[in-house]
Amino acid sequence: MLLVQLSRGWMTALDALQAVGLMTLPQRVHDFREAGILVEDQWHRPDGRGPTTVKQYRLAMPLDDALRLWDERATTVADAEPAAPSGPAAASGGVA
Summarize pLDDT for 57-70 with one digit per residue, the tens: 999 999 999 999 99
pLDDT category of residue 91 using cuts at 50, 70 and 90 = low
pLDDT category of residue 96 using cuts at 50, 70 and 90 = very low
Q: Please provide the CATH number assigned to the domain covering 2-65.
A: 1.10.10
Contact assessment for residue 56 and residue 42, using Cβ atoms and an 8 Å cutoff:
yes
Q: Name the residue type at position 49.
A: R
Summarize pLDDT for 11-50 with one digit per residue, the tens: 999 999 999 999 999 999 999 999 999 999 999 998 877 7
Strands 11-12 and 54-59: antiparallel
User: What pLDDT shows up at residue 83?
Assistant: 57
Question: pTM score, two decimals?
Answer: 0.74
Distance CA 39, CA 46 (A): 20
